[in-house]
A and B are shown apart, each in its own frame.
Chain A
Amino acid sequence: MKMTFESDAQLQAEISLLFSQYAACIDNDRLEKWPEFFVEQCFYKIQSRENHDRKLPISAMECDSKNMLVDRIVSLREANIFAEHMYRHIISIPLILSKSENEIATQTNYLVISTLQSGISHIFSAGRYQDRLVRIDGQLKFVERIVIFDTNSIRTQIVTPI
């Protein structure tokens, strides 16, 4: 698969747009669409910085296929019990770490503010994304999205993806 990337500025704008669409998908509760940002054989993980820095494998969520992402969402909708909440993602400008013919690696900061039914908002998670992206049929998709959170002590539970 041969891909040609535009100039860095164009590429960065395109990646930023993708990340904004990703965030809007979650923040606007269109979670059923969320797996569509990934390729079939993807890897998605939400891991504490504490474990990441110790090079330990345990994560809060780890999915190694798009189907597992789908299962997460069905479980969230149908099975899991949690406090009703809204997420608001604030995302920094992506830093392009490397760019090959086939793949782009980026790192991006995020902040997730969660608002409960009570109307009280709090910072639920602060951290960074480490991503690997490919272009399929003209569209950038995640091969890998690793969410590394600084907020090591998770408030109550985590059910909605970041």
Chain B
Amino acid sequence: MIGAKSGFNDNGINWPDDSEGGYRVPYSVFMDENIYREEQKNIFRGPSWSFVALEAEIPNRGDFKSTFIGDVPVIVIRNGEGGVNVLVNRCAHRGAAVCRKLRGNTSYLECVYHSWAYDLDGNLTSVPFRRGMRGKGGMPSDFSMAEHGLKKIRVQIVNGLIFATFRSDTPDLEKYLGARMVGAIKRIFNREIEVLGDERQRIHGNWKLYAENVRDPYHASLLHLFHATFGLYRSTQVGSCVMDELGRHSLLVASQGTSSEDDDEDAYSDQRSFNSKFVLQDPSLLKGKRDFDDDISLVILSIFPNLVVQQISNTLAVRQIVTYSPNEFELVWTMFGYEDDDDEMRRIRIKQNNLIGPGGLISMEDGEAVELVNRAITHGSGDSSFIAMGGGKAESADHLITEGAIIGFWQHYRELMRI
């Protein structure tokens, strides 16, 4: 129901009309416990593909990683044939978490509570005392092992990114992502990657405030002041903000507009200092090297509902959103380079990592921005935000002074949530 008229609906949310050329989002949608539960059902367990892991995190048979889809615990595991399974991490018996480690390698999964055991495809293989003891106890004679495996959900992979969905009617992954977003993924995941590490950030705010943040190129030069403070002005930067057909995914791209005489070493450095009170004492932080056959220096690719793929200069990362409550989510960053990186390139990526993540000189503010909003809207029932930069419509733009992709997110969100 895109463009639903105002008025209370089943969720009790009063969504205001567009007004004064802008789009409005009621603050109650960030705070409401009932909305949060509905999101788990209609979005995270709904017809959406959630990112769960990189294939490079589980390269060998039996490798696993525990993670979440929304707030459902899942195990991502490579089975005996080399395929990838995503299993709900909940024993078929009485619901205990079967896998209690973040990562590891195993040949089977066993619940510690009553030792029910499963193979790597989630099939139940053993139930202690199934036939009782000395003729007493045991499971009913018609108990079928085949019907009590771990819940296995649909998995699809694009260039090493593993996605899962609870629904059989979710369109195939590449169709769900759309050609443009698949293209952006294939540009970055063009060869074998090497995982360089994770960073975790616990943010006391609603996950949708972060979904807005990564679809908002307008804030970049205003909130993140590192470059401006040190006179690292990006005069030539040009960019765009495009969406998929439904507006749910967003691709922010910025280029340096370098000319052909620039050599590779300088392609990303752009350290043109001008009148500035401060200069970096050690500019080696910004030393870069050309990674791609284009001039793109920044990509923020937001895939609905829980993934961001980023390239900022030579830093490459995926960011996964894990929801805990209306007021809390975790952002899990997995940084990577390429398997064929030489020592110098690897060193450049590790050093530039100072720019990103929870301690990133140019990205640490996003966590605080989310919390700033969250703190101020807690008691803001009835009020709404006003989103109009770039025209107040869910439209792609060939510039970065826009909030169009935020509106795209909300339109799709409302359709799934029926509000």
Do A and B belong to a common assembly?
Answer: yes
Binding site for B on A (CB under 8 A): 46, 48, 50-51, 54, 56-65, 67-68, 70-72, 74-75, 78-83, 152-159
Within the assembled complex, what's the spacing in Å between the Cα atoms of A151 and B217? 31
Contact A156/B368 with A51-B198, A57-B197, A79-B225 known, Cβ cut-off 8 Å: yes
Contact in complex: B359, A158 (CB < 8 Å): yes
Residue of A nearest to B204 (CB): A156
Of B75-83, B156-164, B274-282, the one with at least 4 CB within 8 A of chain A: B274-282
Closest chain-A Cβ to B271's Cβ sits at a distance in Å of: 13
Residue of B nearest to A52 (CB): B197
Contact in complex: A80, B364 (CB < 8 Å): yes
B230 at the binding interface (Cβ < 8 Å):
yes
Q: Hey, what's the 0/1 contact readout for B327-339 against A, CB within 8 Å counting as 1?
A: 0001000010000
Q: Which of B196, B198, B230 makes the CB contact (< 8 A) with A48? A: B198
Closest chain-A Cβ to B117's Cβ sits at a distance in Å of: 27
Contact in complex: A156, B358 (CB < 8 Å): yes
Within the assembled complex, what's the spacing in Å between the Cα atoms of A71 and B368? 21
Closest chain-A Cβ to B113's Cβ sits at a distance in Å of: 26
Contact A58/B353 with A152-B200, A154-B202 known, Cβ cut-off 8 Å: yes
Within the assembled complex, what's the spacing in Å between the Cα atoms of A82 and B335? 23
Within the assembled complex, what's the spacing in Å between the Cα atoms of A67 and B204? 33
Contact in complex: A157, B359 (CB < 8 Å): yes
4 new A-B contacts, CB < 8 A, other than A75-B229, A155-B202, A156-B358, are: A50-B200, A58-B198, A58-B350, A70-B281
Show 29 A/B contacts (Cβ-Cβ < 8 Å), sorted by A: A48-B198, A48-B200, A51-B197, A56-B195, A57-B197, A57-B350, A59-B350, A62-B351, A63-B354, A71-B280, A75-B226, A75-B230, A78-B277, A79-B225, A79-B228, A79-B230, A80-B225, A80-B364, A81-B223, A81-B369, A82-B365, A153-B201, A154-B358, A155-B202, A156-B203, A157-B201, A158-B359, A158-B364, A159-B364
Within the assembled complex, what's the spacing in Å between the Cα atoms of A79 and B241? 26
Contact in complex: A64, B358 (CB < 8 Å): no
Binding site for A on B (CB under 8 A): 102, 195-204, 223, 225-226, 228-230, 277-278, 280-282, 284-285, 330, 335, 346, 350-351, 353-354, 357-359, 361, 364-365, 367-369, 371
Contact in complex: A157, B368 (CB < 8 Å): yes
Contact in complex: B335, A58 (CB < 8 Å): yes
Contact in complex: A81, B225 (CB < 8 Å): yes
Q: Which residues of B contact A78 (CB under 8 A)?
A: 225, 229, 277-278
Contact in complex: B361, A153 (CB < 8 Å): no
Closest chain-B Cβ to A35's Cβ sits at a distance in Å of: 9
Within the assembled complex, what's the spacing in Å between the Cα atoms of A83 and B195? 31
Contact in complex: B368, A81 (CB < 8 Å): yes
Contact in complex: A58, B199 (CB < 8 Å): yes
Residue of B nearest to A62 (CB): B354
Residue of B nearest to A82 (CB): B368
Within the assembled complex, what's the spacing in Å between the Cα atoms of A63 and B230? 17
Residue of A nearest to B336 (CB): A58
Within the assembled complex, what's the spacing in Å between the Cα atoms of A70 and B230? 13
Q: Which residues of B contact A50 (CB under 8 A)?
A: 102, 198, 200
Closest chain-A Cβ to B346's Cβ sits at a distance in Å of: 8
Closest chain-B Cβ to A126's Cβ sits at a distance in Å of: 14
Q: Which residues of A contact B277 (CB under 8 A)?
A: 78
Closest chain-B Cβ to A31's Cβ sits at a distance in Å of: 15
Closest 9 CB pairs of A and B: A58-B197, A67-B281, A67-B282, A79-B229, A56-B197, A60-B359, A153-B200, A51-B197, A158-B359
Closest chain-A Cβ to B206's Cβ sits at a distance in Å of: 14
Q: Which residues of B contact A155 (CB under 8 A)?
A: 202, 204
Residue of A nearest to B334 (CB): A58
Q: Which residues of B contact A65 (CB under 8 A)?
A: 282, 284
Within the assembled complex, what's the spacing in Å between the Cα atoms of A80 and B365? 7
Within the assembled complex, what's the spacing in Å between the Cα atoms of A153 and B284? 28
